[in-house]
Chain A
Amino acid sequence: MADDTTAAAPLAGDPIAGDGTTPKIAVIDVWKSFAGKEVLRGIDLEVTTGESLVIVGGSGAGKSVLLKHLIGLIQPDRGHIVVDGEDLTCAEPAVCLAMRKKFGMSFQEGALFDSMSVFENVAFALRRHTRMREDEIAARVHECLAMVHLEDVDAKMPGQLSGGMRRRVGFARAIALQPEILLFDEPNTGLDPITSAAIDKVIVEMRDSLPVTMVTITHDMSSAFRIADRVAMLREGRILAVAPPEQFRVLPDQYIQKFLAGEPLEEEEVA
């Protein structure tokens, strides 16, 4: 539950107004613990409109938890998430629900509705939130599935798909409605290089052609540098660094250099 005493204070300091450009998403001093284990420990992060932000970090660093905070699936213990100037942490459930129409999210494990076929999964938001005709829906669904190199899977049930296929259907489902904000949790983990590159291509094309704001989690650094306007490193519940790719590569931080080079940590560095 949000602590009421902190409700006004961080907003007064106004990271929202900043330099005149309102960030699409502002994460302000967000703390979260599960059963006494602190996962997020004071996250501050801004995502500007039309930007593609990539979050990297070790396994279990709290990336998925952070991403779920952005869309209000998890409420922070402390701190605020502000989307388009609206504070998600204080908002009424109805406001939160309406707010989520701006979002598309693909989950780490796909999270496909397993009682529905692939087609129905991708068409779900279109049917629910638009007045598109059935043939328009079918066209859009096939377009999205083709983008992630999936064909002839319409009638398949999620249980009949491979893990990578499920993740791609989840990706297609997230982009189907062409939302303003897209959140991708490891969209290309476990995919072969060609399919993975196809997903990167979809992200890059959307970044360059649409005013869409994207936050992507990935473990694949080459893919991160390809799709990112800025890269953020999450470690021990804090944002260690945020920088555009070319600067991120040469950051002097030891942990980041080891992360980029794929080297193990020394004994004393292990948290």
Chain B
Amino acid sequence: MAPEATPQNAVVRFFERIGSMAQGLFEEVGRFFYILHSTLYWTFHRPFDGAQWLRQMVRVGVDSLPVVGLTAMFTGMVMALQTYRGFERFHAEGFVGSVVSLSLTRELAPVLTALMLAGRIGSSLAAELGTMRVTEQIDALYAMATEPLHYLVVPRVAATTLMLPPLVALADGLGIFGGYAVSVGLLGANPVIYWEKTFQFLDLNDVFSGLIKAGVFGLILSVTGCAKGFFTTGGAEGVGRATTAAVVMSSVVILLSDFFLTKILF
């Protein structure tokens, strides 16, 4: 018999909804930490698959160069343009260089690079592992006494975590160069003063904290992508869902953790 639509039932259904949402959330968090934990565990187990590590590092690092470089350069250029227009109003154009370099190294380069890579790498990790899951390739690995977390996940997570800091360092450089080019070339700033202001307030700590953030973001986006892929169910559609969810989830988590990291690191 169908339950009647009494107010009590509505209340029960409401709490059921909340309950199942909470359950889903705990499940996601649990999977994330399960993959994180096993990855750390298996990283220090033999055999060490150097060729796989290298291949993944090329895939994450080298292949992302164009998109990361382009993003960073144009961000630097826009930053210069915007701050120049603003600072002009109170005759502080001289500080454009400082603002560009500080905001790039501390915030924009790590976060934007991580978001670009969440789209580029996080999604492809989820799609790759998800496809392997639904076509039983992961089962086949188990059947050949090979732990898939060891063989598949460790090199991918390690490569992403290791390659994000150098990518961000490059983004720092290119972004600052972009700002310089716009300020000097387009807005007629004095090149010597601009250069001096760029480094006047820039501490090595600013750069390092950005690079640490980058490493953490790399870990987050690769573990999220791998977790989404690893637990895929439901065929091609499931792979599609896992891919989308990987990008959305890792982007959100990157932005959230960015706040807390900034709070902790500075």
Contact B135 A111 (CB under 8 A): yes
- Tell which of B47, B143, B146, B147 touches A71, judged by Cβ atoms closer than 8 Å: B143
Q: Scan A104-118; emit 1 where CB is below 8 A from any B CB, else 0.
A: 110101011110000
The proximity string for B residues 145-181 relative to A, scoring 1 for CB distances below 8 Å and 0 otherwise, is 1110000000000000000000000000000000000
Q: Please, what's the 1-or-0 string for A162-176, where 1 marks a CB less than 8 Å from any CB in chain B?
A: 000000000001000
Which of A71, A98, A107, A111 counts the most B-chain CB atoms under 10 A from its CB?
A: A111
Main secondary structure of the interface of A (DSSP, over half): mixed
A128 and B139 within 8 A (CB)? no
* Pairwise interchain contact B136-A107, C-beta atoms closer than 8 A: yes
| Contact residue among A72, A98, A107, A129 (Cβ-Cβ distance under 8 Å from B140) | A107
- Provide the residues of chain B in CB contact with A72, threshold 8 Å: 142
B1 contacts A by Cβ under 8 Å = no
* In the bound complex, CA of A37 to CA of B135 (Å): 22
Q: In the bound complex, do residue A114 and residue B146 qualify as a contact, i.e. CB atoms below 8 Å apart?
A: no
6 A-B pairs in the complex with CB atoms less than 8 angstroms apart: A71-B143, A101-B145, A105-B140, A107-B136, A111-B135, A111-B139
Within 8 A of B (CB), among A79-107: 97-98, 100-101, 103-105, 107
| Interface set of B (CB-CB < 8 Å, partner A) | 47, 131-132, 135-137, 139-140, 142-147
Question: Which residue of A is nearest B47, CB measured?
Answer: A128
A93 closest partner in B (C-beta): B147
A184 to chain B, nearest CB (A): 12
A-chain residues with CB within 8 Å of residue B139 when the two chains form the complex? 68, 73, 107, 111
Please give 11 more A-B residue pairs, beta carbons under 8 A apart, in addition to A113-B137, A114-B137.
A71-B142, A71-B143, A97-B142, A103-B145, A105-B140, A109-B135, A111-B139, A112-B137, A114-B135, A125-B146, A173-B144
Q: Does A255 interact with chain B (Cβ within 8 Å)?
A: no
Q: Contact check, A109 vs B144: say whether CB atoms are below 8 A apart.
A: no
Q: Is the CB of A129 within 8 A of B136?
A: no
Verify A97–B145 contact, CB threshold 8 A.
Answer: yes
The answer to whether B137 and A100 have CB atoms under 8 Å apart is no
Residues of A within 8 A of B (CB): 68, 71-73, 97-98, 100-101, 103-105, 107, 109, 111-114, 124-125, 128-129, 173
Q: Please, which residues of chain A bring their CB within 8 A of the CB of B143?
A: 71, 73, 100, 103-105, 107
**A113, B145: Cβ atoms closer than 8 Å:** no
Interchain CA distance A107-B136 in the complex, whole Å: 8
Set of chain A residues within 8 Å of B145, measured between Cβ atoms:
97-98, 100-101, 103, 125, 128-129
Assembled-state Cα–Cα distance A181/B95 (Å):
73
Determine the chain A residues whose CB is within 8 A of the CB of B140 once the complex forms.
105, 107, 111-113
Q: Which residues of B contact A68 (CB under 8 A)?
A: 139
Whether A128 contacts B144 by the Cβ 8 Å rule is yes
Residues of A within 8 A of B144 (CB): 100, 124-125, 128-129, 173
Determine the distance from Cα of A59 to Cα of B135 in the docked complex, in whole angstroms: 19
Q: Report chain A residues within 8 Å CB of B47.
A: 128
A103–B142 Cα gap in the complex (Å)? 10
By a CB distance below 8 angstroms, the chain B residues around A100 are: 142-145
How far does the alpha carbon of A72 sit from the alpha carbon of B142 in the complex, in Å? 9
A111 contact set on B, CB distance < 8 A: 135-137, 139-140
Known contacts A97-B147, A128-B47: A109-B136 contact under CB 8 Å:
yes
The 9 closest A-B pairs by CB, nearest first: A111-B136, A100-B145, A111-B140, A105-B143, A101-B145, A125-B144, A73-B139, A107-B136, A111-B137
* A107→B144 CA distance, assembly (Å): 12
A111 to B90 Cα, complex, angstroms:
67
CB distance from B184 to the nearest CB of A (A): 47
Residues of A within 8 A of B136 (CB): 107, 109, 111
Complex Cα spacing A73 to B57, Å: 31
Q: How far is the CB of A136 from chain B (nearest CB, A)?
A: 18
Q: Given the complex of chains A and B, what is the CA–CA distance between A82 and B137 in angstroms?
A: 25
Q: Which residues of B contact A71 (CB under 8 A)?
A: 142-143
Q: How far is the CB of A157 from chain B (nearest CB, A)?
A: 13
Which B residues touch A114, using CB under 8 A? Answer: 131, 135, 137
Bound-complex Cα distance A104 to B131 (A): 22
Question: Nearest CB to that of B138 among chain A residues?
Answer: A111
